[in-house]
Amino acid sequence: MNGIYFDHAATTPTRPEVIDAMLPYYREKWGNPSSLHSSGREAAEGMEGAREQVAKLLRAYPEEIVFTGSGTEADNQALIGTTIAQEKKGDHIITSAIEHHAILHTAEFLEKRGLKVTYLPVDSYGQVDPEAVRAAITERTVLVSIMHANNEIGTLQPIEEIGALCKERGVLFHTDAVQTAGHVPIDVREMNIDLLSLSAHKLYGPKGVGALFVRKGVRIAPLIHGGGHERGRRSSTENVPGIVGLGEACRLAGKDMEWESEHNGALRNRLIERVLAKVPDAMLTGHPVERLPNNASFCVRYIEGESMLLNLDFEQIYASSGSACTSGSLEASHVLLAIGLPHDVAHGSLRLSVGRGNTVEEVDRFLEIFPAIVEKLRAMSPISAGRPASDFEGGADVHEHGREEGGE
Ligand code: PLP
């Protein structure tokens, strides 16, 4: 791809080493891992090797890893599978207002079938208060699901603390770690996690493959029924090359995490400091410190996120915005509304997510171009006319999650 790619939270390029690891499973080792002959066995060996690699990244046991078709599927499996398995115990789950739609829409699906769901609010940085989790747990609560880091604003949650209090109350704790697995250290036992979702394409692996960590002893009903693959937890002949790619991506991520986190953190900090210095009426969204090393997200007042994206795209700079364009109308991101931003501010969101291949030169090229784009758009914008270069006070007006589709 030509240009400057600042959209690693949407997806990452597949690492060449990952492709090299996958190719033999298309070319030579294409057996069915359930077959008893040696062709099947070599495919199964590849898959089991990958299970060990994924487990190692999370400090889990290999038999606790269930391969899925995506992060979305892992999230669905976690919520639907655990609530079915515990239907005699209770009918209440707790999540947050800023989860990915893979969680929110699944929770809504369950709600329509009679489950009770509490959507916890977050503070202006996007953090859930562990005490609010504690207060929301009832005798009927069977699961708490709070994401490890938010995909739009990059805020990290106090997962360990939330996990500890769930453990204390005997409630299962799931975390959507799609944005953090392979990017920040995870130890499922130290962090008191019972279930965790991840996705290969967010950590330089292939698309269409993910995994759910299910701690030993946790009961979970399958979503997909059939031949009893994955110890009866996810039937269907496995995507062996994809799984091998996920394993290799996890191995590489573990090996490179320290370097990558420093590299990304330095680029992120440069973006944040300089955008705030060069662009009037721009604000950082998300937590100033407790955030993903690769996420720099902003709201730029008086302009639309989409206009910024199109103008950046014209310069071959690829970024993302929190708003989703649905059937011609723009809806503000449920995450930005939940942190208390008014609609007009939320519409001007821009997410830059850097990765291992980005350079300081690319950041500086962006910083050269972006202020001029903002100035041009503001000159054209009817909403900027006559408005003072003001602050971002205005408070929360909506705390419910929105209904827009998409978003990574
Ligand atoms: N959860 C979060 C936080 C995400 O960012 C994404 C990405 O789109 C998903 C879940 C879904 O993952 P996948 O694209 O593998 O379905």
Ligand 1: centre distance to CA 375 (Å)? 33
Residue with tokens 């939330």: 162
Ligand 1: centre distance to CA 205 (Å)? 13
Ligand 1, atom 6, residue with closest C-alpha: 408
Most ligand 1 atoms within 8 A of CB, residue of 145, 199, 297, 405 to mutate = 199
Ligand 1: centre distance to CA 88 (Å)? 30
Residue with tokens 């990952």: 18
What 3-state class would DSSP assign to 216? coil
CB-based burial, 229-245: b 16+ in 10 Å, e otherwise: bbeebbeeebbbbbbbb
**CA distance to 105, 194, 201, 360, per residue, from 211 (Å):** 19, 14, 11, 33
> What is 75-110 written as a DSSP string?
HHHHHHHHHHHTTTT--EEEEETT--HHHHHHHHHH
Most ligand 1 atoms within 8 A of CB, residue of 100, 198, 209, 353 to mutate = 100
For residue 293, give both structure tokens.
Answer: 């090393």
Most ligand 1 atoms within 8 A of CB, residue of 11, 67, 72, 156 to mutate = 72
pLDDT at 179: 98
Ligand 1 atom closest to the CA of 150, numbered from 1: 3
Most ligand 1 atoms within 8 A of CB, residue of 151, 196, 320, 333 to mutate = 151
Note whether 388 and 325 are within 8 A (CB): no
| DSSP assignment letter at 233 | T
Closest CA to 383 of 333, 330, 338, 314: 330
Ligand 1 atom closest to the CA of 408, numbered from 1: 8
Whole-structure pTM value: 0.94
Question: pLDDT digit of tens for each residue in the chain (408 aa)?
Answer: 789 999 999 999 999 999 999 999 999 999 999 999 999 999 999 999 999 999 999 999 999 999 999 999 999 999 999 999 999 999 999 999 999 999 999 999 999 999 999 999 999 999 999 999 999 999 999 999 999 999 999 999 999 999 999 999 999 999 999 999 999 999 999 999 999 999 999 999 999 999 999 999 999 999 999 999 999 999 999 999 999 999 999 999 999 999 999 999 999 999 999 999 999 999 999 999 999 999 999 999 999 999 999 999 999 999 999 755 544 556 889 999 999 999 999 999 999 999 999 999 999 999 999 999 999 999 987 666 545 444 444 333 323 333 344 556
Ligand 1: centre distance to CA 162 (Å)? 21
Ligand 1: centre distance to CA 137 (Å)? 26
50/56 Cα distance (integer angstroms) = 10
Residue with tokens 């606790």: 64
Ligand 1 atom closest to the CA of 201, numbered from 1: 15
pLDDT at 381: 76
75/177 Cα distance (integer angstroms) = 10
pLDDT at 384: 63
pLDDT at 331: 81
Ligand 1, atom 8, residue with closest C-alpha: 408
Burial of 193 (0-12, 13-18, 19+ CB in 10 A): buried
Ligand 1, atom 12, residue with closest C-alpha: 71
Ligand 1, atom 13, residue with closest C-alpha: 71
| Amino acid, res. 211 | A
pLDDT at 1: 78
Ligand 1: centre distance to CA 336 (Å)? 18
- To the nearest 10 degrees (0 to 180), the angle between helices 71-85 and 101-112 is 30
Other C-beta atoms within 10 Å of 354: how many?
28
Q: How do 317-318 and 295-300 pair as beta strands? A: unpaired
Ligand 1: centre distance to CA 153 (Å)? 14
Ligand 1: centre distance to CA 72 (Å)? 6
pLDDT at 402: 36
Closest CA to 295 of 212, 378, 202: 202
Ligand 1 atom closest to the CA of 407, numbered from 1: 8
For residue 333, give both structure tokens.
Answer: 């991101």
* Distant-in-sequence, close-in-space partners of 287: CB < 8 Å, separation ≥ 6: 125, 126, 127, 153, 154, 155, 156
Q: Which residues line ligand 1 (CB under 6 A)?
A: 70-72, 75, 100, 102, 147, 151, 176, 178-179, 199, 210, 408
Ligand 1, atom 7, residue with closest C-alpha: 408
**Residues known to be catalytic:** 325
pLDDT at 322: 72
| Amino acid, res. 234 | R
